[in-house]
Structure 1
Amino acid sequence: MDLSFSPDLSLDHEPIDMAAAIGMDERRMHVRAYNYWASLLNGRDFPSIEDLDGRDVQDFADHSLLLDFTAGTDNPATSFIGAALRAECEIGDTVRTLADVPPRSLLSRLTDHWLQIVANRAPIGFEAEFTNQRGLDICYRGILMPFSSDGKTIDFIYGVINWKDAVSAPRPDPLPITAVFEEEDVLDLVEAIEPEDDEPLPLGDDAGLADRLSAARETVEVLKAADGRSRAALYRALSLAYDFAVASRRVPDDYAELLDDAGIKAQARAPMTPIVKLVFGADYDKARLTEFAAALAHAERCEIDFEGFLPFIESFAGGLKGLVAAERDARRPAPRADNRADRARVRLRAAAAQPLSALAGNDEFTLVLVRRDATGKVEPVGAVADLALLEKALHRLA
């Protein structure tokens, strides 16, 4: 880990021009920080702290901090505080832990958020307005991201924070006060901070099947660019995939041609599987494709209308995971209320025990059914007069 990216951490650092520092780059800074964090995951729950390199974060280093929990979570050490952040909070090198941070300073607002990181084990995006130690009203937006030294424990948190004067600067579109970013069904940092400008336009009812497929695939590309972490992009892609499925019923020949061109076979027992393969790609993670197909199938089971999937999944308890679970429950066969074996068990439990001599008959071998009662006592209750079963029993015993 190398965080030697600040040329000067003292209060003598030249004051920054806040209006210029925020400008159009305010939102993009947090997007870049999140994308950098995500690029270090490499399939892990958290990036390694050893991979955090100051040379890679120079464009937002002055607005960043690193909290160190290796000595405990009660009072994390402030291993690094960027120059701009130090200037805003009016702090020098004497600040060694979060408890040393002056009250009413911007850094003092982080306490609740870093606790949420530890609790949720995921990045936290947040924004709010407050009055700082100089009596000025400022708006701030930030993101905190977990790092680990052992791959399991969150013992470092890296944060990037931006701020501006609440009066002189125009307010951005509001974010939730706090947004938690999870692995599977998460809020999307990139979309929450900077909505896509090139979101596909709505398709009319007369749109062709190929156009619908193209629009859905474009949204999937947005999802892939976010490393699969954009819930908003995922839900849009699933919504477009569902509309594509509905439209394909109207023009089955066109749909069959698209499947043939892609080398994908139709599946009568799982009709949504080819749909998600066309939209997300046949090489997409198979477990995820199965989940997507189940979610679309449940929407169809619930007779969701054209263009109705997005509000359906957003209002469904548990979102995507809830839809998948509901579809799997619906497919599970109902338990049989009664059968011949159950009725036979009831009768044999009440039957009187019989001596073996009465059951043996005159044949060399006889298949006898015994019963064990609640006390553990074993007693014969009947002979099975079935030569086929007797032959199976003889072969099994032999």
Structure 2
Amino acid sequence: MIADHEQDDPAVAIGTDERRMHVRAYNYWSSLLAGRDFPSIEDLDGRDVSDFADHSLLLDFTASSDNPVTSFIGAALRAECEIGDEVQTIADVPPRSLLSRLTDHWLQIVANRAPIGFEAEFTNQRGHDICYRGILMPFSSDGETIDFIYGVINWKDGIAAPTPVLTLVAEDDVLDLVDGIEPEAEDAPPVLGEDAGLADRLSAARETVEVLKAADGRSRAALYRALSLAYDFAVASRRVPDDYAELLDDAGIKSQARAPMTPIVKLVFGADYDKARLTEFAAALAHAERCEVDFEGFLPFIEQFPGSLKGLVAAERDARRPDRRSDNRADKARVLLRAANAQPLSALAGNDEFTLVLVRRDATGKVEPVCAVPDLNLLEKAFRHLS
């Protein structure tokens, strides 16, 4: 494991040596593959990454796939972000910090199942313009599942001259530095008048999506602008339902009463956009609507929301999850199981090799078997959970 340590004067200039830092990080990751899809997390040795450990982050997904633990944050990165031990998971990461720029890309790692590099600029929590470059690399505990991600990021305080962009050529598994691409600036969202038509709003949102696609999805600023314009488009569509229905018909997209934001994101991002991402975008917009976010209020809402986009998605999923206490069938089952006689395990096991058994704890704390659960699907789920 990587041990955190202090550094009094962390380097922040993005120069030749610092660009090579990311190449060294990738080469180190690649050296651990040994013919596997992903290196083993057991092979990640803090002594081997000492020259960039202070600029690195380790995410642990073993406890939660939606809100990974920040099991290691380098000292230089902590100092830049002005954070301490209060940041324990992704949801705790301050939205306007450099750390959030690193953690915002973790879903791409899971989707692409390969390292990704990225570069951009933004205004941090102190109001400083920061140029940054980072790389995220997947690790696994079983050789198949991505349950750890190791990232390295470097930055410069202040707008710099155009610098190389770090990209990954996935098909060759090599890291290229492509010169001549200027870092992306975080401009304000396009301004549309209150009288703007629905088609104009859709066009403006799609233009921002094109900026996002040109950056291979690595621009958080462009993504949030696109989502903000998509939300305003959704609000405006309620006012002119006939115009909205016509746009859906022209695009060959069906309205969805149970998921009204799904057609919105398909219109804005394209029906052929990554389906998992579209689902997340729709959930984020739906939660903003649930929270009664005002027209043109989505951008500050998502930037201030704990966990930003990932936090919105998780909050919406929690809001949609039915309250088990309101499930009448579950309530009836609880009543019956409380009154049922305890059974010996030998009577419940049957003739199968494995049996899923429900146990009950009474008022005195005594645990006793009550019944076998014959559902083979639940048994298979239990196997997968235990593995």
Alignment TM-score, normalising by the size of structure 2: 0.47
TM-score w.r.t. structure 1 length?
A: 0.46
